[in-house]
Amino acid sequence: MTEAPKIFTNVFAALVAAQEIMEPLYKGAINPAFKGEGKPKGTTYADYADVCATVRDPFAKCGLAHYSKMVRHETGMDWRTIVVHGASGTSVDCDVPLIVDRQNMQGYKSAVTYAKRIGLESLAGLAPEDDDGNAASQAPAKPAQQRQQAKPAEALSDAQWMIISDLIGQTNTDAKVFCDHYKIKSVKELPTSAFETARKQLNGKLAKIAAELEAAKSNDIQF
């Protein structure tokens, strides 16, 4: 007997359920600009197609869909990604600044594709490791006596920072309280080693908010 699909009353409850069944982000694209030992063809990364493929099934099972559009404002342009829950009509969005380095169609297309990828990763709670950034920032090997010194905490990638920032906003979490808890001065200073813990805590808070909204809606039903 086929199990009846779960019914969610809002986009937040559906997103929490989708994230619970979402597989890790697959990295199918190759950047040949970063060739190195063990990577003769270049580093791998997740492009927009990989992100779409990762969210497709979990979103479909939870009644979610996503689309995007350009948003103009006084200081420039943003690319807005929207995740909508069909049954309830509720939605959540993420704006990413549209920064075009090359003033031609190829430059514009690259900027749009990058913004779409970051926006969807953020809303879906996906956090790929930035292989290109890591490769570029790797320092030469240090002498043995220096290796024993404590390494500074690795900072969040832009995608990870956007995910935590969005969750803080969605859960109405006090950013100062959050920073005090992790002994940091700003959300951007959260070490990558604490990212998963923080994301799970905030997702748990989001799930609690969604459950309270469902309960409140049920109590409002008049018989």
**What pLDDT score was predicted for residue 222?**
52
**pTM reported for the whole predicted model:** 0.54
Three-state SS sequence of the chain: CCCCCCCCCCHHHHHHHHHHHCCCCCCCEEECCCCECCECCCEEECCHHHHHHHHHHHHHHCCEEEEEEEEEECCEEEEEEEEEECCCCCEEEEEEECCCCCCCHHHHHHHHHHHHHHHHHHHHCCCCCCHHHHHHHCCCCCCHHHHCCCCCCCECCHHHHHHHHHHHHHCCCCHHHHHHHCCCCCHHHCEHHHHHHHHHHHHHHHHHHHHHHHHHHHHCCCC
Domain spans of the chain, in order of start: 1-126, 154-223
Position 147 scores a pLDDT of 43
Range 140-154 average pLDDT: 51
Residues 15-61: tens digit of each pLDDT: 999 999 988 876 665 555 445 555 545 556 678 888 899 999 999 99
Checking if the pLDDT of 140 tops 80, the result is: no
